[in-house]
Structure 1
Amino acid sequence: MAYILNIETATKNCSVTVANQGKTIVCIEVAEEGYSHAEKLHLFIEEALQKAGITFQDLKAVAVSQGPGSYTGLRIGVSAAKGLSYSLNIPLIAVDTLEALARKITIESGVIVPMIDARRMEVFTAFFDKSYAKTRDTKAEIIDDTTYSEVSETIHLVGDGAMKCKEVLHSEKVVYHDEVVYPSSNEMSLMSFEKYKKSDFVDVAYFEPFYLKDFVMTTKAKA
């Protein structure tokens, strides 16, 4: 038995999964505008373990969504994962957030372009083929009406960042998958198990989330 706890907090979705041998047993998640991760993450972890009928001592590893995404969300998820990994003396696994988002759909041809909202017309994005292999590196990209004009394949857009692209991307080669908004820990189950089998772990002491951009504090304008 290889029970792995998967934690996804890179976006508004606070998501926890208990998986065994790469298959999800229990998935608990909620997406709220107010980013309730700090209040709900540990409760979700305890509930997921209880529903799976196991204890913390049964876990073989902890996996966390490494980003890119919300600075605060990533910090909360990674802190929780590192704390569990250290206290239980089990490996820590880092999973690409954009790949987890891409894995929410299956395609026969073209490219999957997951997009996480990075404010205004900017998104965190990458390209994945139908087998979920990354074909273009992750980057922060500002979207306009010329974006992806050089791509000849069908472009499958997923994620909350894709929603705002409808304002500017009108090409017939662009397909919007509106049902896919946020990444989930459910798709992490297989990803983390594959890394577990290869002992592809990160250093608990030194691992940091993949923020991609520096954190910028914003304040409301004075009246």
Structure 2
Amino acid sequence: MTHILQIETTSKNSSVSIGTDGKLNCLCEEISPDFKHSENLHTFILWALEGAELELKEIHAVAIGMGPGSYTGLRIGLASAKGLCFGNDIPLIALNSLHFLAYPYFRQEYEFIIPIMDARRMEIYTTIFNSKGDMIEKTHPHILNKHSFENYRNKKILFIGDATVKTENFFQDHNLNFEQASFILSYPSAKNMSQLSYEKYQQKGFENVAYFDPLYLKEWGK
């Protein structure tokens, strides 16, 4: 059996899980407006291992949510992941946090799934997936404007993330018509990483532990 420790710290959600052969085994997470990653992460790792009835030496890899998202959260999560990989001589797997945020909604009733995470002011981090889960736009920062997502306004789409309220309010304030759009407030969670991290493990899609950097997209403080 393949056990992967999974860490996600790109938003207000401190999230740790254990995936076993692509299935969720154990999950520990807390959503806090105070971004308590530095306080929670080590404890959640221990709790997840305990809940899965595993020891650290039984973990085959560490998977990290690589962003985009909180600069500080990314640094805390990646530092922990790298430390575990170095200390236990196991590989590092990186997953786009917007990918596994959208992942549970692939192959459902939506034509397009658009994850949107807050990037301060009127800016968001986003990408676009079709219903099959193919990424059709590169992950990028985007400033909301009257032309935002205009090619999808007559489509059945799902906006999901922590910027949904801001985005929906912007559309309404500027009379932008997205009649078929749904909006779900959500945060990236390690509970949705198991299948994707297991697939990467099987493909040996590992990162260079020493040199890997997360998907910042923006400089700190901007």
Same fold (TM over 0.5): yes
**CA distance in 1 between partners of 2:205 and 2:127 (Å):** 22
**CA distance in 2 between partners of 1:173 and 1:88 (Å):** 51
Using the TM superposition, give the Cα deviation of residue 174 of structure 1 relative to its aligned residue in structure 2, in angstroms: 4.7
Aligned partners of 1:157 and 1:174 also within 8 Å:
no
RMSD between aligned residues: 1.3
Partner of 1:111: 112
For residues 87-130 of structure 1, the C-alpha deviation after alignment (integer angstroms, 9 at most, x for no partner) is 00001000001101111434334110001100111000000112
Q: Is 2:160 the partner of 1:154?
A: no
**CA distance in 2 between partners of 1:131 and 1:28 (Å):** 29
Question: TM-score, normalising length from structure 2?
Answer: 0.93
Query: What is the letter of the counterpart of residue 13 of structure 2?
Result: N
Query: What is the letter of the counterpart of residue 166 of structure 1?
Result: E
Query: What is the letter of the counterpart of residue 163 of structure 2?
Result: G
Q: Is 2:199 the partner of 1:194?
A: yes
For residues 53-86 of structure 1, the C-alpha deviation after alignment (integer angstroms, 9 at most, x for no partner) is 0000000000000010000000000000000011
Count of residue pairs brought into register by the alignment: 216
Question: TM-score, normalising length from structure 1?
Answer: 0.93
Using the TM superposition, give the Cα deviation of residue 173 of structure 1 relative to its aligned residue in structure 2, in angstroms: 4.1
Moved more, 164-173 or 45-54: 164-173
**CA distance in 1 between partners of 2:36 and 2:59 (Å):** 25
Partner of 2:165: 163
Q: Is 2:66 the partner of 1:66?
A: yes
For residues 158-187 of structure 1, the C-alpha deviation after alignment (integer angstroms, 9 at most, x for no partner) is 001122011122423452333x41010011
- Any residues of structure 2 matched to 1:34-113 within 5 Å, and which? 34-106=34-106, 107-113=108-114
> Once the two structures are aligned, what percentage of the paired residues are identical?
38
**CA distance in 1 between partners of 2:180 and 2:15 (Å):** 29
For structure 2, the 5+ residue unaligned runs are none
For structure 1, the 5+ residue unaligned runs are 218-223
**CA distance in 1 between partners of 2:31 and 2:110 (Å):** 30
